Structure 1
Amino acid sequence: MRNAGLPEPSGPQESGQGPHGGDPLDRDVWRLRSRACWDDAAALLAPRAAAEPGPALHRTAVLVERCMFTGEGWGAAEDSLRAAEALATDDEERGAAACERGHLAYASTLLGVRDRADEARAALGRAAALLTPRSPTRPLLDFRRGLIAQHLSDNPSDATAAFQRAHAGAAAHGHRLLLSFTWRHVAAMAEHDGKLAEARHGFAESLRIREELGYLVGIAPALASLAAVVGEEAEAVRLRAEAARLVRLLGGVPGWLAERLGLGALGQAAGA
């Protein structure tokens, strides 16, 4: 499957993960995160993350996202996750932390750092047991279970079902950033099945949301995916050229896309 190598992140909550969050700190973190300045974003969260479960998990998500885009920073992400797990006080917080552990283990496996597939599945299973059906974290959990079915278990039917549940949940909870991911992966499954019109629609919706949110670091992958199914060579060339421009702007992030676009090593991302 063409998208099997797309290591993309998504955060544990929507609060502050867009340009219109209510907390000034969250807005500042979002601006840094969306421009690939993950270390700076994590530093802003560090004081509150030392004592509060929510900021601790948010900081962990930022650092895991850095791992997914750069293949670096695993130790910092693991340390942050352990701290977030220690601060969790109820089932919602423990379930969200388990969901993040599953995602970190999945990322390590997908990127070939260390095979942690069993840990990923166990952690997401634990999250499913802790989170209520109406939990705002449940759509993210469904999405990540879909990633494991798609990329680690090679089970397209289970992946499609999980992505569809996540998509419906993200829409219901107003989680727009997550919705951009679910659109993207629902589209990837449609592409896998040869349903190119559905794939084009899904990739275009994912791109639209990312542009509206200002999620700069995620726009280039969306452009590249749309280019692969757009059908018109001139438009595909334009989309790939724009994706390459953004990757260069961010210093070669994401690395896997820089390689695919033939850009070679472009150095560190800003703030990384």
Structure 2
Amino acid sequence: MSGYGTTAGDDPLQTAVWRLRSRGCWTDAAALLAPRAADPAAALERAGLLVERCLFTGDGWAEAEDALRTAEAVARDDEERGGAACERGRLAYAATWLGVRDRADEARSALGRAAALLAPTSPGRPLLDFRRGLVAEHIADSPQAARAAYRRAHDGATAQGDTLLLSFTWHHQAGLALREGELAEARHGFAESLRIREELGYLIGTAPTLAALADCEPEPEASRLRAEAGRLFRLLGGVPVWLESQLAAGIPPQPSPAQPEPAA
């Protein structure tokens, strides 16, 4: 559940799912996959879409839980079970980060289970590393551990050519750099994230990166970027919900919880 439908040659279903997902139409995208829910890959992708909706909207938790239980039930091997555990960890992280319910222990446990199930060379490892970085940064408040996890995820995404995940690793590494006052590094990371998201047409993730980049720029560029972020935010129906108060106050936004998250 990362860059599905983002490259030439993807099948029509994946392209349709990507176009809906990139515009925040997660329910519609998940509905396209519902007829294939008995297939482990489709079931996991559907669950990932609905978990991502929770991250961006703060809503739809019961439906995401149901889809995740289906993905867990149809998983047949360690790779598939590891992918489902990784997704469960993201859902528990989202509930904790958004203040819906403290599920921090569940997030750590599920991601740890995913790490035990996924082989070191598994294509799911970079996404797992990224999500472990989120937990380290936003739950454990350990920026050093988060940075190491994001770097592993970044290297893995680069090796696999997962450009969407790269947009998230650039963004979150830049967020850590901004916290440490490294404006040049932060500006570069946010700019790279923004470039990738614009190239992929990942509209739902563009406003947070525009707003984050604004915090690295002097005026009047900062105000221009925030205005563009606000325009996109309103165009997409006020999503992600956690961006509204930060745009209104003109304060630095928190890094999106993502994706692929990845990711927001």
Q: Using structure 1 for the length normalisation, give the TM-score.
A: 0.89
Report the counterpart of residue 225 of structure 1 in structure 2: 212
SS state at 1:262 partner: helix
SS state at 2:220 partner: helix
1:253 paired with 2:212, answer: no
1:101 to 72, 88, 113: 88
Report the counterpart of residue 67 of structure 1 in structure 2: 54
Instruction: Write the letter of the residue equivalent to 2:228.
Output: E
Unaligned runs of 5+ in 2: 250-264
Determine the C-alpha separation between the residues in 2 that align with 1:106 and 1:244: 26
Instruction: Write the letter of the residue equivalent to 1:227.
Output: A
Determine the C-alpha separation between the residues in 2 that align with 1:196 and 1:259: 23
2:105 to 96, 118, 133: 118
Determine the C-alpha separation between the residues in 2 that align with 1:67 and 1:141: 18
1:35 paired with 2:23, answer: yes
Determine the C-alpha separation between the residues in 2 that align with 1:54 and 1:99: 14
Report the counterpart of residue 33 of structure 2 in structure 1: 45
1:257 CA displacement = 1.0
Report the counterpart of residue 205 of structure 1 in structure 2: 192
Q: Using structure 2 for the length normalisation, give the TM-score.
A: 0.92
1:262 CA displacement = 2.2
The count of corresponding residues between Structure 1 and Structure 2 is 249
Report the counterpart of residue 270 of structure 1 in structure 2: none
Instruction: Write the letter of the residue equivalent to 2:23.
Output: R
1:20 paired with 2:12, answer: no
- Does the aligned pair in 1 maintain the 2:4–2:18 contact within 8 Å? no
Q: Report percent identity of matched pairs.
A: 69
CA separation of 1:13 and 1:239: change in aligned 2, threshold 3 A: closer
- Does the aligned pair in 2 maintain the 1:13–1:58 contact within 8 Å? no
Unaligned runs of 5+ in 1: 1-11, 264-272
SS state at 2:238 partner: coil
- Does the aligned pair in 1 maintain the 2:90–2:131 contact within 8 Å? yes
RMSD: 1.1
